[in-house]
Amino acid sequence: MSEKTIKIQLPDGSVREVALGTTPYDIAMSISPRLAAAVVVARVRPLTPMAAAGTVAEGEEETSEAAMYAGPQAGSAAGERLVDLAAPLTEDIALELLKETDEAALKVVRHSAAHVMATAILELFPETKLGHGPATDQGFFYDVYRETPFSEADLAAIEQKMAEVVARDEKFVREEEPREKGLTDYSAQGEFMKVHFIEKFTKPGDEISLYRNGGFVDFCRGPHVPSTGRVKAFKVTSVAGAYWLGDEKNQQLQRVYGTAFYNAKDMEAHFKRLEEIKARDHRVLGKQLDLFSIQEVAGAGLIFWHPKGGLIRKTMEDWMRDECIRRGYEMVFTPHIMRRELWKISGHEGFYSQNMYPPMELDDAEYRLKPMNCPGHILIYKNSPKSYRDLPQRYAELGNVYRYERSGTMHGLLRVRGFTQDDAHIFCTPEQIEGEIAACVEFADEVLKAFGFAEFKVELSTWDPNDKKSYVGDERHWETAVSSLKKVLDAKGIPYREIPGEAAFYGPKIDIKLVDVLGRLWQLSTVQFDFNLPQRFELEYTGEDGEKHRPVMVHRALFGSVERFFGVLIEHYAGAFPMWLAPVQVGLVPISEKHLEYARSVKAKLEAQGLRVELDERNEKMNAKIREFTLKKVPFVLVMGDKEAATEAVSVRTRGKGDEGSVAMTEFIARAVGLVESRGVLL
């Protein structure tokens, strides 16, 4: 047996023949000891497909929970996976040694950091029971159960203890043992969560894998870094509640968050980035730039738009209305409260009431605040008989809706209780449906581009056939609807991800998530198919054949919620809005009081061109005025003194660029007006 060899193919294409059982570490060492010291983990891909199948099948789970539990695993169709450096190689493989610069391997470091943290927690608080501790995009966490919650001081103590565990440089050793032994041992220790995971992710007769470092052992699929000393930069960041198995009916665990990096410098950069994100937080900027507020006396999740925010909103809404009209929509308005009877007919009473405010008694009946605009639009459609010649009917409304959100869920403008949907409902014949949906998707694309977003991701949400009671309509309806949505996306060549169980109760939908400058994803636009409401309201049109037919209906919102879109916009631009959206486009700074008169004349001229101008008439030094306009992120600041007054000129200071010197008024006006009209992002 010891004669037996295997082939190892390295990334440069070279192939080495080594003894069976050679480890990636051995190979790294044979290349160079320095490489061996820098390598974190190995990526292997079996060279023969047969072997690949065998390797991947081992312990490979497809559920996301399993993936999360088991930690980082690059499971791909090619059978690629990450293994410990100490893992004996048993077949012909392509081997890649991942060094401390590799992004994928960072997850391994973080997963190992989670083990280090668990080690520290158990040493300090032995009564703690362990859940799971995966790596995340930002770092890692470990879910644990303990009667008393961890305090700030506890977190600091945990971090300190982790430093000790790292200093001990304990080897991560993979061990395997019979599943039954694992179950018995963990049961004896009262580790109910570990018992659950073993039962869920392994089958009777399986060997389970454990990772040991020093006195700490954890059921885990791995892989890990060679030793705890390889977790070089880490921090325990916070603790929060998390439900066991994500179900709020279960007990609450403590999720201890941390992060880890290859080195202190990377970690510093990470926290610096977090600070930058915080600096562009729409809640912070909303206050700084005086855009909006949320008032405790008025209630949570309710937005007050201040004049400057209001102006941006007006600009957004005007643009949207004009675009709708240009595309054959008609603007309508519907009431905010409507009789309960209507919500019974629409099905909201049954399927949506947990999100609706309770009914209010009026003299004649009970009324409810609207959570959606659709029933109102339907009543308009239904108000007069329709012929196929009238279709499609496209009703659009910037409709204020109110939805009950649980108290802990609100978040600035992004999650509120009262918001405005740029909502539209399209009533059309079955033949028209695909064209209408395609037009909606195109429109959505245009909206995102107009506001400066270049990238987006598409999701197709369908129903969960195993949970039919959460949806209306029969199987046949759902299938046709889903297939027509798919057809549109495929025809446009738009890549999408299908998510079963995410549909609205009345039909499947296409959700468009935009990607902002920081690469974050935001759910905004949605195009939804509805075959429920036309039926419930018995909508009809007269066909070419003189018979009555049922129209189909499309719901669509492109901003989604004006509030949320605005919030995302603030963060996207970090408050530095492009010219066409900026609430104040030009700030005027007279150098001294004697230039006030000229400044006023400049203001009048600019305003005559439709520009939004603010003149600082205070008795302040010009530097102070410039500073304030700069902090308010005003695109242009015009400074004027004797020189400018004498020549009908202005000295231009551009946001992000600085002093650009004097130009003639006419020249500046052309530039400013041009920028507004082109809706350019750059100044």
Partner RNA sequence: GCCGAUGUAGCUCAGCUGGUAGAGCAACUGAUUCGUAAUCAGUAGGUCAGCGGUUCAAAUCCGCUCAUCGGCUCCA
Annotated active-site positions, please? 374, 403, 421, 423, 425, 509, 555
Crossing angle (nearest 10°) for helices 307-326 and 562-573: 110
| Closest to RNA by CB, 44 or 514 | 514
316 binds RNA (CB under 7 A): no
Residues between 552 and 581 with contacts to RNA, criterion CB under 7 A: 557, 560-561, 563-564
DSSP class of residue 548? E
The number of C-alpha atoms within 13 Å of 343 and in the hemisphere containing its C-beta is 26
Place of tokens 């209010």: 360
Residues between 266 and 295 with contacts to RNA, criterion CB under 7 A: 283, 287, 294
Contact between 482 and 508 (Cβ < 8 Å): yes
Which of the stretches 2-10, 15-23, 536-544, 622-630 binds RNA when contact is defined by CB under 7 A? 622-630
The DSSP annotation for 579-594 comes to TTT-SS-EEEEESSGG
661 binds RNA (CB under 7 A): yes
Instruction: Kindly give the pairing relationship between strand 330-331 and strand 393-402.
Output: parallel
619 binds RNA (CB under 7 A): yes
How far, in Å, CA of 312 to CA of 179, rounded?
62
Which of the stretches 81-89, 360-368, 390-398, 653-661 binds RNA when contact is defined by CB under 7 A? 653-661
The number of C-alpha atoms within 13 Å of 522 and in the hemisphere containing its C-beta is 29
Q: At 348, is the secondary structure helix, strand, or coil?
A: helix
3-state per-residue secondary structure call for 431-458: HHHHHHHHHHHHHHHHHHHHCCCCEEEE
First to last CA, the chain: 72
CA distances from 649 to 590, 592, 608, 652, 666 (A): 12, 16, 17, 9, 8
**Min separation Cβ 398 and RNA, Å:** 13
520 binds RNA (CB under 7 A): no
Residues between 3 and 62 with contacts to RNA, criterion CB under 7 A: none
Residues between 142 and 161 with contacts to RNA, criterion CB under 7 A: 149, 151-152
Residue of 53, 521, 631, 664 that binds RNA (CB under 7 A): 631
Which of the stretches 163-171, 357-365, 413-421, 663-671 binds RNA when contact is defined by CB under 7 A? 413-421
Edge-to-edge order in the sheet of strand 173-178? 173-178, 207-213, 216-219
Residue of 100, 154, 530, 644 that binds RNA (CB under 7 A): 644
535: phi then psi, degrees, rounded to nearest 5: -75, -50
How far, in Å, CA of 376 to CA of 431, rounded?
25
**Min separation Cβ 392 and RNA, Å:** 23
Which of the stretches 9-17, 111-119, 602-610, 659-667 binds RNA when contact is defined by CB under 7 A? 659-667
**Min separation Cβ 558 and RNA, Å:** 10
**Min separation Cβ 138 and RNA, Å:** 8
Residue of 504, 527, 552, 669 that binds RNA (CB under 7 A): 504
Q: At 381, is the secondary structure helix, strand, or coil?
A: helix
| Closest to RNA by CB, 197 or 216 | 197
**369, 370, 378: which is closest to 332 by C-alpha?**
378
Residue of 144, 641, 669, 676 that binds RNA (CB under 7 A): 641
258 binds RNA (CB under 7 A): no
307 binds RNA (CB under 7 A): no
Contact track, RNA, 171-200, x by CB under 7 A: ------------------------------
Residue of 167, 240, 279, 362 that binds RNA (CB under 7 A): 240
Question: Number of helices and strands (H, E) in the chain?
Answer: 22, 32
| Closest to RNA by CB, 261 or 629 | 629
Contact track, RNA, 586-615, x by CB under 7 A: -----xxxx---------------------
131 binds RNA (CB under 7 A): no
647 binds RNA (CB under 7 A): no
